[in-house]
Amino acid sequence: MDLDGRFDGAVHAYPLRVQYEDTDAGGIVYHAQYLAFAERGRSAWLRCLGVDQTALLAGAGKGFVVRHIEIDFMQPARLGAVLEVASRLIRLGGASLKLQQDVKNIEDGLILARLFVEIGFVDLAGASVPRACRLPAEITSQLSAVLAPMPALSSW
């Protein structure tokens, strides 16, 4: 569905417009909103790959959780700007994955923020604390199709 963006090779592009609620009184995007933009991009990325997070949670009691995020803020975004969250899978493990996400201004092409996100796959059913578990083979196959290793631009 167009609402979820599109793949261009291994990169998923999720468009969005900066809304009033995303900004401060001066029309600048709050720093925490970049995390929300990236989360929307990751959810859309999974939907475009055919991974149904709602069914996983309801049926198997399993899901994806963010384990670590590193973010670099490079440029501010402003009210009304048209942005794109570009998500690229850079590592796939048995129970985890790592993405690079760039939040870009579509109008001028500038990268506004770059995130490295480490995600674990966990069993949320029955235990008081979520426990890591292996990704199902079907999901591993879907993710492998867009794995695009690249040199790390980060210290971790």
Active site residues: 24
Q: Which two tokens stand for residue 7?
A: 């793949």
Q: Which two tokens stand for residue 37?
A: 């933009």
List, as one string, the DSSP characters of 1-56: -GGG-EEETTEEEEEEE--GGGB-TTSBBPHHHHHHHHHHHHHHHHHHTT--HHHI
Find the angle CA(97)-CA(98)-CA(104) to the nearest 5 degrees: 140
* SS3 state of residue 82: strand
